[in-house]
Structure 1
Amino acid sequence: MQPDEDFLPFMQTHSDSLLRRLFSDYGMVLVLLLLILVVSILTLEPQNLTGREAGAATADQILAAYGQQAVVAIAVPAGAADRQYLEGVKARIEQAGGQIAGAVSGSPAQARQMLQRAAQSGVAINALAVTGKSQEWTVLDSVRQDGQIRFFVPQVRWWPNFLKAGNLLGVANQTAIYAIIAVGMTMVIILREIDLSVGSIVALSSVTVAGYLRYFAGGSSAGAGALTIACLLALLVSAAAGAVNGVLLTVARLPSFIVTLAMMLVARGLAQRLSNQESIGDVWLPPAFRTLGGGSLAGLPNPVWIMIVLYPAAHFMMSRTAFGRKLYAIGGNPEAARLCGIRLQQVKFLVFTLSGALAGLGGLLLSSRLNCGDPKYGDMYELEVIAAVVVGGTSLMGGEGRMLGTLIGAFIIAVIRNGMNLLGIESSSQNIVLGAVLAAAVLADQLKRRWQSTR
């Protein structure tokens, strides 16, 4: 029985459409996962276990060798996990009837002093519990060469440096600020425009909030009300800078490249003038200011939570509201959108104002996290943000792009940069790699458009 001739073209068309949709929805996710896998393999190294459980395991090794005759000294660095390791060793040794001759969580000099005091008091130490870092302290070389004290180190396991909890949180925290700014940039690029001023607006926002707290709100003694006003003022100034971009674009009909390039210079200059080209440090800022960008909730930094809330809202706006559909319509065909009654200039003004406000929010979070206002903040942020948007699949030709793609693009850029940092690649080489990634993303977009035009 021969298949229906009309059915075969339908199935082929349906299959092609399904594959395109699957690649569009999940292709960037697969790229990100593959990149994480590659970076994890490249940063795979032997890791000493840390924490209280590692300390207990090390103590068990000592007890297996010496039993209740164990006379133990402990020398570890000053980190929180190292202190937990020290407590784990100490608790297990004392519980088993052994003796703790001394314990230090600090510097190599403090470890040397501890061992000297033990020697002067006549205590015969036979075991020294150390970590992977403290066993390399040169002050312990003479002890190791003497051979009378046996070194005990936590067990080793292979684990990628990239997948350490602290590193992953750092990547997410740093990415959050870029990703927040990239929400506005995505809308701008979908409109076939560009915004080069976001990095300078980050600096302007940072200086505005810190300057207000220092000069008008009592500095480090500023209360919650003054802190709220300072944050709102920073957002308002940033939105005003974006609104100026929108006015020059829509009323003066200047190209967005020129408009935002000018604002990039103006905003940076204003930030330098307002701060006298100096940073406004934590001496002048209230302790509560650091909570916004430096605090955490349920183990996640606050900027990450803001990003998590912002992206679903932005996705809903772009995919489920009339405003979002207008953006795609204008970016896809401005003339057709105008003939359909869409007010192009009004939409562009709102988008650039929103882009400025989101850049201001990014500057506010950055300033809070570092507990400092600085006119140098945000340098080259515009290129990082544009790279994230383009790598995430938003077309520079306008009319195409998704918020989820932008978020994935931001993480792709962050994973690449973090991986290169962990591998010790110098900054100049990192810039070359990121430039190549951006060029490849634009080339891929152009090839996709050419392929689509031939179908």
Structure 2
Amino acid sequence: MSALGKILRKPIEFVSGEYGMAAVLLLLCILFSVLTIEEKSPEGTKAGNKLTDDIVKLIEQDSVNFPKEIRVFIAAGKGKSGEDFVDSLGKGLDSKGINVIGKAVGDTLRIKKAIQATGEIDLIATTSLMRNFPVFDSFLGEEREVIRASSMVVNDTLIKGEKTTLIAPRTYLWPIFLTPVNLRNITSQIAVIAILAIGMTMVIITAGIDLSVGSMIALSAVVATSIIEKMGGAAEAGTSVFLIASLAGVLVCTLSGAFTGIMVSQFSIPPFIATLAMMQVLRGIAFKIANNETISDVPANFQWLGNGLSYGIPNCVILMIILYTLAHIMMNKTQLGRYIYAIGANAEASRMSGISPKKIKLIVYAICGATAGLGGIVMASQLQSGAGNYGVTYELMVIAAVVVGGTSLFGGKGKVLGTLIGAFIIAVITNGMNLLLLGSETQMIVLGLVILVAILIERLRSGEWRNAVGG
């Protein structure tokens, strides 16, 4: 082994090991957390509580300029956040015996009139968002300074003017990537791809591939929404209609997957060719059913699966977790799972052992169709509509998730939970690049390189590249 090979061996073995991709996911999260750090401001009740503490400490540190008898006016923009800020700050200052002589919540004109009507004010407390609004200029006067003394706990949130002083909550640094909204977006956005990747993992473990999953997303979505439209639409369709429509969409895709499985197993058509043909056929059928239009006559509560929350967790993510749990049990604890691995490792040896590769492949492609159908229902629910152009290029993202998750394109190796990690790696990379405002062309280059590196790592780890012809 060359010196370079010895150097690279351990990192490659670690990354391709059981916990390697999880470590990569963690490192990516850390990287994008660092790259997306921005100055943020507290809002609502949290901002009011923090500013209460700052004003109390300010009085304790500089009792000459800010005695406990200071007259405080509280101002905030309209909306619930502003109301919560004024309410919490007012109660906090009252509890400390600090004199609040006026409050105003609303637009700048209303705040200006309220301040004018109040009389002499020593300190105006407002939100970080309103701190630089010109409404306060006339009350601060011509000469003003931002107090930056290191001993001041409020730092640069204190603007001292000729007539009064303006104070706002302290800002802080926090990664946009780690905000609850963004993390929830990542899980919701990856749910469809992750669900599809369950079936794709099983197909690839058998040394096959399915390029038709993106088209099956569109087919399932169109079938479900067209049934809802015909059985009452937005006005009359209820839960039973949703269930029937969803089952129909999944069933159609399951049968489509089974048909592909027959083509591959019974007629020995290469999976790439068979699924490439089905990709075109199913996409065309989806457009036909939808009449080249978007079907949107569905009730708002159809979004429950795609956009609804249960205990703060997106329902589509809960479905994804359930499916991955079942798939993990099936692949590791059942006879079918063992047969899938056996066929991928050596189909001929499996046949001689009494396993039917044709039957197993048919089942696997049918499962892949079913998961694609479920993904289509989730997407239709998220977008509250169905169209023939749904799921375009999704097959590439799904294959990328499976490969990055450690499943070998040559069959026989792979784990469902590894695929889930791979799906999150793809989602984190995509989300991180969006937050960094990188263009779509850059994202395509990066994702392509990620797939290539994942395959290269797998080949280097296995050592099979040495057996290539001409090597």
Q: Same fold (TM over 0.5)?
A: yes
Where does 1:134-283 land on structure 2 (aligned, <5 Å)?
Answer: 134-135=130-131, 150-281=165-296
Alpha-carbon distance in structure 1 between the residues aligned to 2:269 and 2:16 = 37
Matched, 1:400 2:377: no
Alpha-carbon distance in structure 1 between the residues aligned to 2:458 and 2:15 = 17
- Alpha carbons of structure 1 residues 70 and 367: separation in structure 2 relative to 1, 3 Å: same
Secondary structure at the residue paired with 2:75? strand
Contact 1:294 1:369 in 2 (8 A): yes
Secondary structure at the residue paired with 1:71? strand
**Per-residue deviation, 1:368:** 1.3
Which residue does the alignment assign to 2:35? Answer: 42
Contact 1:329 1:337 in 2 (8 A): yes
Which residue does the alignment assign to 1:107? Answer: none
TM-score, normalised on structure 1?
A: 0.85
Contact 1:58 1:129 in 2 (8 A): no
Which residue does the alignment assign to 1:316? Answer: 329
Which residue does the alignment assign to 2:92? Answer: 92
Structure 2 alignment gaps of length 5 or more: 1-8, 60-65, 143-160
**Per-residue deviation, 1:443:** 1.2
- Alpha carbons of structure 1 residues 82 and 345: separation in structure 2 relative to 1, 3 Å: farther
Alpha-carbon distance in structure 1 between the residues aligned to 2:251 and 2:390 = 18
Contact 1:75 1:128 in 2 (8 A): no
Task: Give the letter for the 1:102 counterpart.
Answer: A
Task: Give the letter for the 2:19 counterpart.
Answer: Y
Which residue does the alignment assign to 2:26? Answer: 33
Contact 1:390 1:409 in 2 (8 A): yes
The match for 2:73 among 68, 71, 74 is: 71
- Alpha carbons of structure 1 residues 84 and 194: separation in structure 2 relative to 1, 3 Å: farther
Secondary structure at the residue paired with 1:377? coil
Alpha-carbon distance in structure 2 between the residues aligned to 1:47 and 1:192 = 49
Contact 1:208 1:230 in 2 (8 A): yes
Which residue does the alignment assign to 2:126? Answer: 129
TM-score, normalised on structure 2?
A: 0.82
Alpha-carbon distance in structure 2 between the residues aligned to 1:393 and 1:436 = 15
Q: List per-residue Cα deviations over 1:362-388 (Å, max 9, x = no partner).
A: 111122123232333212111111001
- Alpha carbons of structure 1 residues 134 and 314: separation in structure 2 relative to 1, 3 Å: farther
Alpha-carbon distance in structure 2 between the residues aligned to 1:227 and 1:387 = 31
Contact 1:278 1:374 in 2 (8 A): yes
Contact 1:93 1:99 in 2 (8 A): no
Alpha-carbon distance in structure 2 between the residues aligned to 1:364 and 1:100 = 54
Secondary structure at the residue paired with 2:438? coil
Matched, 1:441 2:454: yes
Structure 1 alignment gaps of length 5 or more: 1-15, 105-110
- Alpha carbons of structure 1 residues 206 and 82: separation in structure 2 relative to 1, 3 Å: farther
Give me the identity figure in percent.
Answer: 40
Give the stretch that moved more between structures: 383-392 or 287-296.
287-296
Alpha-carbon distance in structure 2 between the residues aligned to 1:348 and 1:137 = 66
Task: Give the letter for the 1:46 counterpart.
Answer: E
Alpha-carbon distance in structure 2 between the residues aligned to 1:340 and 1:115 = 83
Which residue does the alignment assign to 2:351? Answer: 338
Alpha-carbon distance in structure 2 between the residues aligned to 1:144 and 1:385 = 59
Which residue does the alignment assign to 1:419? Answer: 432
Task: Give the letter for the 1:27 counterpart.
Answer: G
- Alpha carbons of structure 1 residues 99 and 210: separation in structure 2 relative to 1, 3 Å: farther
Give the stretch that moved more between structures: 325-334 or 266-275.
266-275
Which residue does the alignment assign to 1:3? Answer: none
- Alpha carbons of structure 1 residues 179 and 137: separation in structure 2 relative to 1, 3 Å: farther
- Alpha carbons of structure 1 residues 23 and 440: separation in structure 2 relative to 1, 3 Å: closer
Larger radius of gyration: 2
Alpha-carbon distance in structure 1 between the residues aligned to 2:315 and 2:306 = 6
Secondary structure at the residue paired with 1:162? helix
Secondary structure at the residue paired with 2:19? helix
Which residue does the alignment assign to 1:8? Answer: none
**Structure (1/2) with the larger helix percentage:** 1
Alpha-carbon distance in structure 1 between the residues aligned to 2:69 and 2:389 = 59
Secondary structure at the residue paired with 2:355? coil
Which residue does the alignment assign to 2:156? Answer: none
Alpha-carbon distance in structure 2 between the residues aligned to 1:61 and 1:21 = 49
**Per-residue deviation, 1:191:** 0.9
Alpha-carbon distance in structure 2 between the residues aligned to 1:332 and 1:353 = 20
Give the stretch that moved more between structures: 165-174 or 44-53.
44-53
- Alpha carbons of structure 1 residues 278 and 123: separation in structure 2 relative to 1, 3 Å: farther
Give the stretch that moved more between structures: 304-313 or 89-98.
89-98
**Per-residue deviation, 1:186:** 0.3
**Per-residue deviation, 1:91:** 4.0
**Per-residue deviation, 1:240:** 2.0
Contact 1:184 1:358 in 2 (8 A): yes
Alpha-carbon distance in structure 1 between the residues aligned to 2:83 and 2:283 = 44
Contact 2:16 2:406 in 1 (8 A): no
**Per-residue deviation, 1:138:** 7.5
Give the stretch that moved more between structures: 50-59 or 323-332.
50-59
Contact 2:105 2:111 in 1 (8 A): no
